[in-house]
Structures are given as structure tokens and as C-alpha cells.
Structure 1
Amino acid sequence: MRTGRGGRSRARSLITFLGVSVLSGALAAGFAVPFAGFAGRGSAEVAETVQTLPKELVVDPVAVRSRILAADGSLIATLYEQNRVPVPLSSISPIMRKAIVAIEDSRFYEHGALDLKGTLRAMLRNQTEGEVQQGGSSITQQYVKMSLVEKAKTAAERADATAVTYQRKLTELRYAVAIEDQLSKDEILERYLNLANFGDGTYGVQAAAQHYFRTTADKLTLPQAALLAGLVKNPTGYDPTNDPVRSKARRDVVIKRMLELGVITVHQANQALRTPVINPAAVEPVPNGCANSRYPFYCDYVVSKLLANPALGATVKDRDHYLKTGGLLIRTSIDPRMQAAAQASIDQHSKTTDTAIAAITVVQPGTGLVKAMVQSKPYGNGRNHTNYNYNVEKSYAGGFGGFQNGSTMKAFTIAAALSRGIPMDYRINSPEQIDLRNKKFRTCTGYTRDPTYQPKNSTHSGDLTMVEAARFSTNTYFLQLSQRTGLCPIARIAAKLGMYNAQTGGPLDQVASMTLGVGYVTPLMLSNAYATFAARGKYCAPLVVTSVRDKSGRPVPGPGINCKQAIPRQVADGVNRVLSAVMMPGGTGGHLRFGTRDMGGKTGTIQQNLAVWFAGYTPNLAAAAVVADASLPYTNLMFGHDLNGQDIADPTGSGTAGPLWETAMQGAVHGLPVVRFVAPPRKMIGDPNPKPPPDNGKKPKPKPKPNR
């Protein structure tokens, strides 16, 4: 009788299988007997290979996705290398366990590490069907293989873990024997179902149940379980989101195998076979990374802070890997309600197509918690999108590095003057223009001069008190005041309140024009500095990550709320009194005042209108808004720039940045308790109804106090 090509192929497969069976029997017995030739290799070579194999498989913890949460517990982002949520076997439905055992290793609970009978039956059936219908390796062997692939760190290690060689098979078998000695069958099955790749970026049965069916592993039905069980053999080829026809065919094979084994009834099988494989509309995507977050810029900033935490790893690479595989639960400071209020302000006052950009950061005084962070350009690489975060320093991922801050710097000059005993009623004759060419300004290291400096006022001039000069933002008053205080006290107070050059990380420049603005400052830095005034001089480092817990629920060390008394309370109270005048009728921020809350603020417009600011606060919330040209070379906002789709007719902190601040703050403070500023000492206020000094050509001299 002649044998056809198919018959000869099956015969060769059977002979090969018998050889493997002899070898496998020896393996299961502990490798105590010599081997006959295997695949053309001598027994001595095979025996030597076996004796050098490790006897115990060290399994690395499975990669588990991490989650970043907002302050209210809502999800901001998911970070993962493998989308996986491990669950105990008790949280996996019995029908799912039966389905995977039926199709992959029906005698799993009856045999040891290797099922010779089941493997022979699977080989003969697969040969008959012409394709793989049933698994040949035991579930334990498969678990070993998946674990070795998971452990692989390089392409070469991954290739070794999947190589079609007898050495690899021997390694798997020996490890499988060890695993069977160490773990119960249920423990092996639990690990297997949590480790397996279920296609479309899902790993483990819980993530797969959520992704394909929007359910959990303990609620999987028969057709759902059969689909997932069928995916393990070829997660890409049977992926129902790519090929639902092939996926259904594979699912139906699983259902029929379960019927064949008596796991389910004919009625159950028929119902399951008639069930659609998936509902494409119900497939739940699991976005990965900050680019897919609802707050992508804030998320990037959070991740930057996490990557700087040595508790997450020795190197940035280690920390990044741990972030994506460690199953961390990361809680952050962002308040979705306040974030929505700030975003609503951006949406109301700007468009993504504007040539100018707008950005706002909101901070909680007394804690440093960053409650909101928004900007007008959306995240991405497309037209009118950006990957720059205009709210943070350049040292962080995507950080733009700030802008010059204009007259918002005057707040620090006020603090320096009050610290040195200069009262609020201190008058300085402040003409429209002042000649400061080569005038000396004391710095921390000596003096500085500007040979050409002749600054002007853009607002009110005259013989003014500190309060009046702040209300009108009179440049020539504050320049002369900074001469009297010296630039060093201004620089030191600003530094204590977290102000530094956002481009270089160095200190702010001590130049003649320092009180009118320095570069470069971010909305985050400025809002947090002003929050220090609101907190009566208590500076708190900006904080976005409030807690991190590992997958076991243990806390991971990291920076927490970090506060210190940066300036005396009474000095901060005085600054609040002066900056409150800005928000009164006639002040540059008077039209931005809302409600009856106490509030202080300051406008900022830098030279040539390249950027405009408004920073302000109540006792329980502070915010800074900026509108700027963010494209090199920077140009005047008044020419060729638009905001909210219209030409910028009033490129000032009051007229352009102010409305952004007002709308954001009004929404953010809604529902918060009304808190009042503390009144400063009477001596600091001075004469409540000061009279102009006599015109004798001499300026009154304050009685300076040592800077404490």
C-alpha cells in the first residue's frame, strides 16, 4: 500500500514525537538516565546539556500598569509597558478557568509538568485538521515560556526564549518540573492567566475582560471566556478588533472543545456559538501615557517629578521602567473642578489658532498644591498644537522656560521695602520720566549701572505713596524705591519665594530695571510666589504628586508638603494691603475684582509688549495668567498677533491677561469659604491720611530696620 505525502508527514511527526516522549519521560524522572540520539545529536551531548540546566526558575514580578489620579480620585492617565491588572484566581470566573484548561491542557489537573498522552492527542488532531487546534505544551510549560520571555531584557534574550531548539525545550521542561514541585495547580493557573497576552495590547485576563467586554474577570460569560481562551495561542492573529471572522472561528473551536469534554451542555454551546464575537462599539481603549491623558501637560509635569524621585530607582531609566511596570497608584494635587474653571477661561478668551499663547496656573496657599494648569495650545504635533508646557520651567520635560514677568516683580520690591521699615505712606516724587543713566543700584555683590537707562511711566505720575504707586503701577516710583532698598533684598525675597531664572535655573538678574521685570519666570513660579503672600509669608514648594503607593499598597517615599516661613507674617500682611489697592476702583486691576472676597493682585507688561501678565490671589487661592508671543523671534503683541481670533488692541496685563485671570479665579474659588487678610501693624501702614511733604527739595528718609 502506498502512503501519500500527508501520511508520510504524519508518520514523521509521530516518530519525532516518540523521541521527545522518551526524552520527556527521562526529564520528568529527574534526568537520571542517559539519552539516546535526539534530532541527530549524541546522547553524551544531550546529557551534558541537561546536567548544565538550572533547576529553579526565578520569576520576575509581572509588569503591572500604573495609574495617575486627580485629587478627587478620578483617573488622569495610565502608564504601562504591558496593560495588566493582576487578580487572584478567586476573582476569575470558573467558566474562564475551564475554557483555558479545555483548549490548552485538558488534563492539566491530572498530569505533572508534561502530559505525554495529551500532547500525542493534540499532535494527531492538529495534523488531521491541518492547523493548530489544541495546545501541545502543558499549561505549566507555557507558563515557563511566557515567564522567560517576560524576563528577557534584550532582543537576544527574547530570541533565546522563543528559539525552536531542543536546548530551549529542555530548559522549559526542567523548569516546568521545578514549578510543579513549588506551586499548586491553582497557583500555576492563576499566574498563567495573569501573565498571558490576550491581544490588542492587553495582558492578563482582567485587563482583557475590561478591554473587550467592559467587564471584570469574575463576570466573564461562556462566549467571552471562550474568545479569550482562544486568543492565547495567537494573540495577534485571533485579535477580534483586527479580524472578527477568524477570531469567531477560533472561539467556536474552544466552545466545541468544551462541549467535547463535557464541560458545557449542548444548549450552552449552541447559545454561545450564536453570540456575536464582540461589540466593536463597546471595546474600551486603555490609553497609555500622558499624550492620551485628559490633562496631558500637567501629566507630563507629574511624570517629570516622579522621574526625579530616587525612591523609584537608581537611574532615570530604572524609574521610567518602574513607573510603567510597578503597578503604582499615584495621587496628584489637581482639582478637576478648578481645572475645568481655568480651562473654561482659556476657552472663553482664546482660540487654538491664535498667534499669541495664553497660560494659567492655580496654586493653593499654605500647601503649594498645584490645583490647575492650562494653556491655549493643545497637546500634540499637529498644526496649532504644541508639546511645550508654557506653565513650567525648562528643566522639566516639555517646559518652555517662562517669559519676562514685567511689573509683577514690584510685589517683591514692596516686600523688601516693608521689611526694611519703609511704611506704605512713604512718598516719592515720581515724574513721567526719570534719568537713571549710570545711577548706582546696590546688588548682593556690589553695584550695577545702566549707562543709557531713562525709563518712563505708562500710567499715573506724581508725588505718590507706595499704595498709590502700586495701584497705578508707577514705574518711576518703584525704580527709586528699589534704589533705596537695594536690589539684594529684592532678589533674596524673590528667591525665598521660589523665583529664579526658569531658563537657566540660576538666580534672577540684579539689574537697574529689576523691579520692572526680569527673565525668565513661569506662571507656576509666579502664582506660587504670590500664594506665599496669601499664606502670610509661608512659602511652600510647588507640589503635584501627593502620594505614591506600590502594587501592594505600601507608600513609596517622595517629597511631600514642604513649607517654611520665608518672610515675616506682618510683612506679608503689608504686601497684601498694598496689592489690595490694585484691585480697588481706579487700580489697574480694579475692573477684575469680583464678589466681596479680599484679594490682591498685580499687572505685568514687559518691554515692547512681548508678554503681559496678571497675578493675583485671595487668602485661599492664587493664580497667574500670561499672554505672550512664544515664537522666535519674539515680537510686540500689538502688531501681527491675535487672541481669541481678534487683534490685540490692549496688550497690557490689565486688558489682556487680566480677564483670563478673573474668569479662572472666579470659577475656581466658587464654593470656597470667604477668608479675610490680616491687617498689618499700624506703624507699617503709616498715616492713613498722609499729607504731601513740604516742598523743601529734600526727600524724607525712612528709618531702615535690619532685614530679618
Structure 2
Amino acid sequence: MRAGRGGRNWARSLIMFIGVSALSGALAAGLAVPFAGFVGQGTAQVAATVESLPKEFESDPLAVRSRILAADGTLLATLYEQNRVPVPLSSVAPIMRKAIVAIEDSRFYDHGALDLKGTLRAMVRNQTGGEVQQGGSSITQQYVKMSLVEKAKTAAERKKATEVSYERKLTELRYAIAVESEFSKDEILERYLNLANFGAGTYGVQAAAQHYFRTTAAKLTLPQAALLAGIVKNPTGYNPGNNAVRARARRDVVIKRMLELGVITVGQANHALRTPIDLSQVEPVPNGCANSRYPFYCDYVVSKLLQNPALGATVKDRDHYLKTGGLLIRTSIDPRIQAAAQASIDKHSKLTDSAVAAITVVEPGTGLVKAMVQSKPYGNGRNHTNYNLNVEKSYAGGWGGFQNGSTMKAFTIAAALSKGIPMDYRINSPEQIDLRNTKFRTCTGWTRDPTYQPHNSTHSGDLTMVEAARFSTNTYFLQLSQRTGLCPIAKIAAKLGMYNGQTGEPLEQVASMTLGVGYVTPLMLSNAYATFAARGKYCKPLVVTSVRDKAGRPVPGPGLDCRQAIPRQVADGVNRVLSQVMMPGGTGGHLRFGTRDMAGKTGTIQQNLAVWFSGYTPNLAAAAVVADASLPYRNLMGQTLNGDHIHDPTGSGTAGPLWETAMQGALRGLPVERFVTPPKKLIGDPNAVGDTSKKDSKNPKPKPHG
């Protein structure tokens, strides 16, 4: 921005003004700086100083608050360093414009960058009072000063921008000259009203109108406009929330000044002066995730955003842009499904429980995270936590997961079907099996456990894959994993997004892998099972669906990221096997509801430190976990859930009801969809595995794909 041809003339005017001020024997230029600052400097030297000042003024973009929205467009959270919503001057009520001009610079539209008449008047009043009672700065000068403070990045820069010195005032004047030559008066006023601090953490007239009066800048009344105009001089001292009496007195000064200038009538002034200040309308704008509707989910969203290089070169840059860039961030969370999951938590747990519970719901085929809830609320108080029990440790506040028990058997089933082992495949599965030093092939060689002698907690015998899944028979799946090898199980699990939520490393390939390994999160597990529901189509979990800057332009970022992770027929086969878990006699049979196709798997880890139920329909997948989340980890037996002691912690009986209630609510209103029948070669003998194909003329089962 250039000062234009008039710059030199303005400098001469400034020199003349300083001379006039010197002759008057008062404060130099009425600028609240002792004239002694100019002692020893001749006119030529002052002129040289002025001419050496910058002739261009560039203001930083306004810091504008960003908003995070749910999938339905409702507000989840607001992020800001300064609570500001810029508006054009045409969206500011005329009475507000008149109020700010009347009290801050009544001759604003009549003078240039410097109001010589107003400054001399202020100088005289200040000298008479013996102190600075009235400033002589024009609105343009004030705008420049506020902009310089806004641009300051360090304490030293902020001090320089606010110091009491003639150098600062001269710099501001030079910049004001440049601003006046570049912008119209209305444009300057618009910038001023959007930049100004109106107290209580609000910046700009629009945010102030919303905060104090729950209205917009366009609808401000005379009493409201006068109050806001009065605050600008001292945003802390005249904030009605801090001192309503002082704020009203200042407001009345503004009203009387407007009357003195003929801006309003006597009747308008009297009515405004009689109007009380109503603090009941004050509406704070919560800042940050801690004050949002869904704090844990919000933190996860922000963590994902901070990984996006399109928002800045460093995490610090991205964080700053998030809070100042005026971004509109749309997310995947569905408030209806979130409410259903929360209702389940509320029904099946209590704040004072020693055990914790968590649920994540994911949409198959997209990876959209529809809900994320837990039993311990966000906060630092008793029975609260800042840990997100649903996500990995690599994210802000992520707990890092729990051992997942027999939910790992789903990946063993997928590995077996991938190798052509049909679901009617029988293995003699005794109650206990001796696997001491039995070799299991891994991706890099072999592994063995010299002391491993696992046993069943349910049915034993000569079982098919389907029967073993229904009863969650450990000895069957251990032998099956020996036949498939651990490498195919590990590879399929990895393709479906499973890894150690504590370390980020791949799941360990050990003899007991199929019975649970490492630490996995509800988000991980629900999304992996969603892959089966989507016929083998894996999608990375997605929480941020779009980001737009304050101009409405899209900001690049990760979108839907899906791929065919396992063959469709294999996923169809897993769905068939796990559907039997939900049938009468299966470990999840009592959790089945309605007529939908659904599949699931229980999980209980050693010493009952955590129990799981992960299940899905073609529409939604969810994982629920109940665990001890306090070191040292203890057996869930005897701990409390929903206010009662847990006597027999199991995936179906303890975590299952949480999953059932959440899914019942989440699926309400969604269409009934069906799993696809797998190829006969994977089914084997339908009599041996239980042919549960449904014949429904209204909802025919889709034909299997190649």
C-alpha cells in the first residue's frame, strides 16, 4: 500500500502541527507524549524522521474463529484465539456506525488521517486536567494502532506497538496517511469495527452483538449500539459483565454525545437512557473442544486436522490457523447415532463405576465415524478423565486400546476362507489342548510357546468352523490358526487397520494370536468389522469430511480412502459364520433384535481385564468394550458396572448389552439390508453349518459377486 503523492504534503502538515503544538506549550500534538521528547530536534530533523518512516501499511488478515460442525450441520465446537465474525459495513446497523463515530471521532468523515482540530481540542483538555483525559487519535489512527498490536508476534513487538513515545505516534500517523490514501472512509470504518476489542473475549461488532445481546450487528438498537461503542475505549473496565454500573455510565456518555451532535433526538436519547442493561442476554461462545458437545470426538477431529500439511508447515502453524483462519469444518458424527450410543452408556453404566465402557460406531463402505462415547466424562474432576478410550495413543489423549480377546477369531476365519478352507471344516476340539512347543508359522519364520496348554470356557468336541464360532471354542481356532499359519491372519488384520494401539507396531504373531493380541481400540475394531460388512472394502476411519476457508474455498485434506482389502466372497463367508454367533445358542444370540441380518463376535481376555462385543449389520458396525482402565489393571470380577458388582465378566453378558442398546437406537429408521450369500465352495455342507439364508420377497438377498 502506498501513501501516494500527498505523502510529502502530509509530512509538511505534520511538521507544521508539531510547530503549533510547541508554540502552545502543551503536550506535543495532544498525543499523550511530553513535548520534551522533541527537545533538541530541529524542524529539519523532525522532517527527516517523518520522511524515513514507512510509506506503506499492510495489515495481517483478521483472526477469525473456526467452527466444527456435525454431519447434520449443527455446531459442535468453536475454536478461536479471538472470537470474531467479520461482516461488511452494510451488515452493521446505521445507529451502531453513528455511535462509534460520535464517541471516538465525530469529525471522522470531515478530516484526513489526522484531525488537527480534534487533536488540539484534546490537547487543551488534557493540559487543563493535568493528565490525559481525552485522546486525539482519529479512527484511522486507532485502526492502525490496533492492527500493529494485532501483527505483533512477540512481547517486544507488542511493547513497541503500545509504548508511549513520539516515534510510535509518528509511525502510526505515517501509516494512517497511507491507509487514508488507499481506502474510503466507509472501508476504514468497516475494518475498524471488525478489528476492535469489545471485551469479554469478543472481537468485532458482530461477535459482540451475538455475545451481549444474542442478536446481529445489523439489528442493534440505540442502547445496545451505545453500550458497544462505549466499551471500545476500555474493553475490560467498561465490560458490563465486570462492572454494570460503570458500563451503563459509559453508555450514557455515548448517548449524550450522540444527542449533542444531533445524531439522535431528545426523545430517542431519553428512551435509551432509561433502558436498563440486561445481562441475562449475555451468551458466551465456548472455545475449544473441552467446551464442545462431544469433547473426546472433537479432540480426535483436531488431532486429525493437525496432521494435515495443507493447514500449515508445522503443527504450531496448523494450530494457529485452526484458531484464526475462519475455517468451516464438517465432520462425520451423526448426532442421532451419537445420542443412541450415549443412551446405551447411560443405561448400562454409572459415573461412579470402577470399570469403564466405550463404544464406537462406524459406517461400512465409507469409514465414517458416526459415534464415539464412553462412560467417563471429559474433565479433571472425580470420575472424569481426559483420556479418549476409543482411540489410539498416537492421538491427543488417546488411551491406546485394550487386549481384544476372541474378537481376533474373525481374522482367523477370514484367513481360513482365503485358503479355501470351508466353514464346514471339522477339527476335534477338546476342552484342553497341549500346544507346548508346537510350531506356528509366522511371516518371518516360526514361533512356539514352551508352556502353552490352553483350554475352552465353552463347548468342546468335533466342531465345524461355524459351530466353533458360535461357541467361541478356543481349541478349535488355535488349531485352525496352526493350519492357516499366523502370517495370513496378521496380514488380513493389518489390511483391515489393526495394529497395536499403544505402540503403533504390527500385532505380534504369537501362538495365542487368534485369542487376542496386543492392544486395539474400539475405533479400530469397529472399523475392521465394518470391512466385513462392506464385503471386504476397507476404508480408513474418517472424521473430517470437508474443510473450507473463510472465503469458502475447499482446503485439501484426506477424504474417503477405500480399497478392496479382502475378496468379497471371503468377507461374505465371514459374515455367514459370524451371523451364526447371533443365532439362538450362539454367544451373541440373546443380543439379536429385529429381523435384520447381523453378525458379531465376543471377546474376553486373560484374567478378565477387558471384555468385548463387536458386531455389525450391512448399515453400521460397532464395538463395545468394558475394561479396567486404572493401573495396575485388575480383574473385572468384583468391579462395578452400572452400580452393581460384576460377577461373571463376559463379552456377551457384560459388553454385549452396551452394543445391543446402542445399535438398536442407531439402526432405527435405517433401511433393512442383507448380507450376500457366499459361494457354495466356502459353505461346504449347508446342513453342517446351518443354512440361514432368508427368503424375503420384499428384501431379496443379493446374489454373490465373483
Give the TM-score taking structure 2 as reference length. 0.93
User: Once the 2 structures are TM-superposed, how far is the Cα of residue 688 of structure 1 from its aligned partner?
Assistant: 1.5
> How many angstroms apart in 1 are the aligned matches of 2:190 and 2:579?
64
Q: Which residue of 1 aligns with 2:4?
A: none
Q: Deviations over 1:561-584 (max 9, x none)?
A: 110000000000000000000000
Residues 402-413 of structure 1 aligned to structure 2 (within 5 Å): 402-413=401-412
Map Cα deviations across residues 444-463 of structure 1 (whole Å, 9 max, x no partner).
Answer: 00000000000010111111
Deviation at 1:483, TM superposition (A): 0.1
Q: Which amino acid aligns with 2:118?
A: G
**Aligned partner of residue 689 in structure 1, secondary structure:** helix
- In structure 2, the partner of 1:186 is 186
Q: Which residue of 1 aligns with 2:526?
A: 527
Select between 212-221 and 648-657 the one with higher mean Cα deviation: 648-657
Q: CA deviation at 1:21?
A: 7.3
SS in 2 for 1:159: helix
Offset of residue 22 of structure 1: 12
Amino acid at match of 2:105: D
Answering whether residue 227 of structure 2 is matched by residue 227 of structure 1, we say yes
Confirm or deny: 8 A CA contact 1:603 1:654 kept in the other structure.
yes
Equivalent position of 1:670 in the other structure: 668
Measured after TM superposition, the shift of residue 151 of structure 1 is: 0.2
Q: State the secondary structure of the residue aligned to 1:603.
A: strand
Contact 1:541–1:561 at 8 Å: present in 2 too?
Answer: yes
| Pairs aligned (count) | 669
2:31/2:135 contact within 8 Å kept: no
Aligned partners of 1:17 and 1:120 also within 8 Å = no
SS where residue 180 of structure 2 aligns? helix
Find 1:20's aligned residue among 29, 32, 36.
29
CA contact (8 A) 1:642 1:648 kept: yes
Query: Secondary structure at the residue paired with 1:372?
Result: strand
1:95-144, Cα deviation, whole Å (9 max, x unpaired): 00000000000000000000011122234456678887754200000000
Q: Which residue of 2 aligns with 1:306?
A: 305
Distance 1:158 1:15 in 2: 32
Counterpart check, 1:633 vs 2:647: no
Tell me which residue corresponds to 2:451. Answer: 452
Indicate the residue corresponding to 1:475 in structure 2. Answer: 474
**Quick check: 1:103–1:135 contact (8 Å CA) kept in 2?**
no
> Residue 53 of structure 1: CA displacement?
1.4
Worse overlay, 255-264 or 116-125: 116-125
CA–CA distance in 2 between the matches of 1:297 and 1:23?
Answer: 50
Q: Shift of residue 18 of structure 1?
A: 6.9
**CA displacement, residues 16-71 of structure 1 (integer Å, 9 cap, x when unaligned):** 557427999xxxxxxxxxxx985324126534432331111111100000000000
The 5 A counterparts of 1:346-361 are 346-361=345-360
Change over 3 Å in CA distance of 1:132–1:104 after alignment to 2: farther
2:678 corresponds to 1:680: yes
Distance 2:30 2:418 in 1: 89
- C-alpha offsets along residues 641-692 of structure 1, whole Å, 9 cap, x if unaligned? 111111011211011000000000000010000000000011110011249x
Alignment of 1:549-564 (within 5 A): 549-564=548-563
Residue 694 of structure 1 is matched in structure 2 by: none
For 1:72-111, list aligned pairs within 5 A. 72-111=72-111
Aligned positions of 1:536-555 closer than 5 A: 536-555=535-554
Conserved 8 A contact 1:214-1:283 = yes
Q: Give the aligned partner of residue 497 of structure 2.
A: 498
Matched residues in 1 for 2:45 and 2:32: separation?
13
1: distance between equivalents of 2:400 and 2:653? 24
Contact 2:498 2:520 in 1 (8 A): yes
Q: Which residue of 2 aligns with 1:381?
A: 380
Shift of 1:533: 0.2
State how 1:421-436 maps to structure 2 within 5 Å. 421-436=420-435
Structure 1 contact 342–373 (Cα < 8 Å) conserved: yes
CA 1:49–1:462: 2 relative to 1, 3 Å: same
Distance in 1 between residues matched to 2:107 and 2:298, nearest whole Å: 48
Measured in 1, the distance between the counterparts of 2:458 and 2:643 equals 28
Whole-angstrom CA distance in 2 between matches of 1:245 and 1:130? 26
Pairwise CA distance, 1:250: 0.4
Does the 8 A contact of 2:31 with 2:137 survive in 1?
A: no
Inter-partner Cα distance in structure 1 for 2:209 and 2:52:
41
Deviation at 1:370, TM superposition (A): 0.1
Distance 2:523 2:556 in 1: 24
Q: Is the 8 A contact 1:38 1:46 kept in 2?
A: no
Q: Distance in 1 between matches of 2:128 and 2:219?
A: 35
Tell me which amino acid in the other structure corresponds to 1:396.
Answer: Y
Corresponding residue number in structure 2 for 1:165:
165
Matches within 5 A, 1:22-61: 39-43=38-42, 45-61=45-61
Query: In the aligned structure 1, how far is the partner of 2:155 from the partner of 2:241?
Result: 28
Distance in 1, Cα, partners of 2:359 & 2:299? 16
Among residues 662, 687, 690, which one is paired with 1:689 in the alignment? 687
Q: Which runs of 5+ in 1 are unaligned?
A: 1-10, 25-35, 692-707
TM-score (norm. length: structure 1)? 0.92
Distance 2:75 2:587 in 1: 40
Against the structure 1 CA distance between its residues 131 and 257, is the aligned structure 2 distance closer, same or farther, given a 3 Å change threshold? farther
- After superposition, the C-alpha distances for 1:349-383 in whole angstroms (9 at most, x for unaligned) are 00111111100000000000000000000101111
Q: Which runs of 5+ in 2 are unaligned?
A: 1-19, 690-705
Deviates more, 1:589-598 or 1:131-140: 131-140
Deviation at 1:280, TM superposition (A): 1.9
Q: Secondary structure at the match of 1:402?
A: coil
For 2:136 and 2:27, the matched residues in 1 are separated by 14
Pairing 1:198-597 to 2, within 5 Å after superposition: 198-277=198-277, 279-597=278-596
Aligned counterparts of 2:78 and 2:27: Cα–Cα separation in 1:
49
Structure 2 CA distance, aligned partners of 1:22 and 1:455?
87
Secondary structure at 2:38 match in 1? coil
Aligned-residue sequence identity (percent) comes to 85
Q: 2-side partners of 1:167 and 1:132: how far apart?
A: 18
**Which one of 651, 654, 667 corresponds to residue 653 of structure 1?**
651
Tell me which amino acid in the other structure corresponds to 1:533: F
Q: 8 Å contact 2:30–2:119 — kept in the other structure? A: no
- Partner amino acid, structure 1, of 2:74: S
- Paired letter, 1:668: A
| Inter-partner Cα distance in structure 2 for 1:657 and 1:176 | 67
Cα 1:129–1:262 shift into 2, 3 Å:
farther
CA distance in 1, matches of 2:497, 2:63: 38
Distance in 1, matches of 2:464 and 2:102, equals 87
- Matching of residues 1-20 of structure 1 within 5 Å: 15=24, 17=26, 19-20=28-29
The question of whether the paired residues in 1 share the 8 Å contact of 2:31 and 2:169 is answered with no
Q: Deviations over 1:147-176 (max 9, x none)?
A: 000000001000000000000000000000
Within-5 A mapping of 1:99-178: 99-125=99-125, 135-178=135-178
Tell me the amino acid that sits aligned with residue 29 of structure 2: V
**Distance change >3 Å, CA 366–CA 679, structure 1 → 2:** same
Say if 2:29 and 2:120, in contact at 8 Å, map to a contact too.
Answer: no
